[in-house]
């Protein structure tokens, strides 16, 4: 008489294959959703603008005593970096606002050159201007027009 161990091993392997397939399907569905999300928004422009704001914010970090003692000059780096991050995130959430927040982000990126360690040593400013211009220049895809000669032949 055969022991039930080989049967159990077979069912465990079958369940594992089924679980792996389910996980792959879920990952595939999540990836398809993310691609659709990314293509309907100024995703890359917003991402570059957020990266520029984070860079400006990172190079503006200093102790609280120094910020309080310097006044607005100490807080300006935080305001510009935080504003750039917000200007990058809002168009991703609300694509119709891309012009307004793209232009504000570009202005904040250029202002960061003066108020925050050369705009995060020029890297934050450059990323911010790049991201802002990509955000403003983004447009939803239009449906492709059919060729005229195809309609005329039919």
Distance CA 42, CA 133 (A): 10
Sign of CA dihedral 109, 113, 116, 119: positive
The residue among 41, 29, 6 whose CA lies nearest residue 141 is 41
Q: How confident is the model at residue 130 (pLDDT cuts 50, 70, 90)?
A: very high
Q: What are phi and psi of 41, to 5 degrees?
A: -145, 160
Say what percent of the chain tops pLDDT 90: 52
Contact, 117 vs 75, CB < 8 A? no
Structure confidence at residue 15 (pLDDT)? 61
| Better pLDDT: 101 or 150 | 101
Alpha carbons 35 and 6: distance in angstroms, whole number: 43
Give the pLDDT confidence of 35-86 residue by residue, as tens digits. 999 999 999 999 999 999 999 988 887 776 776 677 766 788 889 999 999 9
Alpha helices, H only, 61-97: 64-70, 72-93
Q: What is the pLDDT of residue 76?
A: 84
pLDDT band at 139 (very low <50, low <70, confident <90, very high): confident
Task: Specify the pLDDT at position 143.
Answer: 74
Q: Which residue did the predictor score with more confidence, 15 or 108?
A: 108
pLDDT tens digits for range 21-47: 888 999 999 999 999 999 999 999 999
19, two tokens: 């679980």
pLDDT over 70 at 150, yes or no: no
């Amino acid at each position: 008489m055969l022991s039930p161990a080989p049967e159990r091993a077979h069912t465990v392997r079958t369940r594992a294959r089924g679980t792996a397939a389910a996980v792959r399907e879920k990952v595939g569905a999540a990836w398809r959703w993310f691609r659709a999300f990314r293509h309907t928004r100024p995703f890359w422009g917003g991402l570059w603008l957020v990266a520029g704001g984070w860079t400006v914010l990172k190079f503006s970090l200093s102790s609280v005593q120094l910020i309080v003692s310097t006044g607005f000059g100490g807080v300006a780096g935080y305001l510009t970096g935080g504003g750039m991050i917000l200007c990058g995130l809002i168009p991703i959430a609300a694509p119709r606002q891309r012009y307004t927040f793209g232009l504000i982000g570009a202005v904040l990126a250029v202002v960061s050159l003066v108020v925050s360690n050369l705009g995060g040593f020029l890297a934050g400013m450059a990323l911010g201007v790049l991201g802002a211009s990509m955000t403003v220049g983004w447009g939803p895809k239009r449906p492709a027009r059919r060729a005229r000669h195809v309609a005329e032949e039919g």
